[in-house]
């Protein structure tokens, strides 16, 4: 923690501070709607939003409106759907994927709904540029069978147009070319492109943003073991909050 704190505190210029949501700012929950910020953590983020040393951007796999509802913060930079949608503090929105690439998602969603008949705990979530199959709480046997079937469908029908992204109790299929790293780069350029970048993330969807941040500043991986390009490691969201709160003057 001291390594990244020192880097931030010694920065001679304003920092673009990128933060993932689930698994980084809040603990992973069985139901996504239960992954709520505590009052203390929200207060810390609100204080940092008004700190001139930082320009903050929240980057999530959640739909953009859902992310902003969970954050409940003043207007800010936000990225949803794994990098497909950028929303500026003034409400202006940018879609980073062409509509022609999105038609395949409806077909995949229909096919995955059939897979979910294997167990009542399986469910499909449709987003702007991806489709996710959730299996948290599903017994190992049905979960393995569902994942295998979903991978088979992907290999036969969608491997040229979508990217499969295994995550924590979720398998997500994302339109090829949509990444958090690309979105972070876009926000960086839209805000001048000169600020050093610091990014915090916890899973495979964050790897591209971690790589971008390391080229332009520093990245922090949140988890037990760091197998990413990040130069720093924090064990859990609680430690992320401790670090962020220590930045408040």
**Is 207:137 a contact under the CB 8 Å cutoff?**
no
Dihedral in degrees, nearest 10, Cα atoms 147, 149, 154, 157: -170
On average, the pLDDT of the chain sits at: 94
pLDDT tens across 177-194, in order?
999 999 999 999 999 999
Q: What is the number of alpha carbons within 13 Å of residue 165 lying toward its C-beta?
A: 25
What DSSP element (H or E) covers 55? strand 54-59
The yes-or-no answer to whether 2-96+178-246 and 99-175 have a common fold is no
DSSP line for 197-222: EEEEE-SGGGHHHHHHHHHHEEEEEE
DSSP line for 97-151: S-GGGTHHHHHHHHHHHHHGGG-TT-EEEE-SSEEEEE-TT--HHHHHHHHHHHH
C-alpha span between 208 and 213 (Å, rounded): 9
**Is 204:181 a contact under the CB 8 Å cutoff?**
no
CA distances to 134, 140, 152, 171, 204 from 144, rounded to whole Å, are 12, 6, 12, 11, 20
pLDDT value of position 68: 98
Quickly tell me which residue has 């979508």 as its tokens.
162
Rounded to the nearest 5°, which phi and psi values hold at 61?
-80, -10
pLDDT tens across 50-68, in order?
999 999 999 999 999 999 9
pLDDT tens across 199-227, in order?
999 999 999 999 999 999 999 999 999 98
pLDDT value of position 198: 99
Question: What CATH class has 99-175?
Answer: alpha beta
What fold does the segment set 2-96+178-246 form as a domain? Answer: Rossmann fold (3.40.50)
pLDDT value of position 166: 83
pLDDT value of position 100: 57
With 90 as the cut, is the pLDDT of residue 197 above it? yes
pLDDT tens across 133-189, in order?
999 889 999 999 999 999 999 999 999 999 998 888 899 999 999 999 999 999 999
C-alpha span between 181 and 161 (Å, rounded): 19
User: What are the residue ranges spanned by the domains of the chain?
Assistant: 2-96+178-246, 99-175
C-alpha span between 90 and 88 (Å, rounded): 5
| 124's tokens | 């499909």
| pTM of the entire predicted model | 0.89
Closest CA to 200 of 81, 14, 13, 22: 22
Strand partners, 19: 58, 200
pLDDT value of position 128: 84
pLDDT tens across 112-129, in order?
999 998 898 999 998 888
C-alpha span between 127 and 130 (Å, rounded): 5
In this prediction, residues 13-35 reach a mean pLDDT of 94
């Amino acid at each position: 923690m001291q390594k990244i704190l020192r880097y931030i505190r010694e920065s001679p210029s304003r920092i673009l501070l990128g933060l993932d949501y689930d698994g980084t700012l809040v603990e992973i929950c069985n139901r996504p709607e239960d992954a709520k910020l505590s009052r203390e953590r929200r207060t810390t983020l609100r204080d940092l939003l008004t700190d001139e040393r930082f320009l903050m951007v929240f980057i999530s796999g959640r739909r953009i409106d859902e992310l902003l509802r969970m954050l409940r913060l003043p207007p800010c930079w936000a990225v949803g759907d794994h990098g497909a949608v950028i929303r500026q503090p003034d409400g202006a929105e940018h879609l980073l994927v062409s509509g022609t690439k999105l038609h395949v998602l409806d077909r995949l969603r229909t096919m995955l709904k059939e897979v979910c008949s294997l167990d009542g705990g399986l469910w499909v979530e449709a987003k702007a540029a991806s489709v996710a199959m959730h299996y948290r709480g599903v017994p190992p046997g049905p979960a393995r069978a569902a994942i295998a079937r979903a991978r088979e469908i992907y290999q036969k029908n969608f491997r040229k147009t979508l990217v499969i992204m295994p995550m924590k109790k979720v398998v997500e299929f994302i339109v090829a070319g949509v990444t958090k790293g690309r979105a972070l780069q876009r926000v960086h350029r839209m805000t001048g492109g000169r600020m050093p970048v610091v990014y915090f993330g916890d899973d495979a969807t964050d790897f591209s943003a971690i790589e971008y941040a390391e080229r332009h500043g520093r990245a922090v991986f949140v988890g037990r073991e760091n197998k990413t390009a990040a130069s720093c490691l924090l064990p859990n969201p609680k430690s992320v909050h401790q670090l962020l709160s220590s930045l408040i003057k």
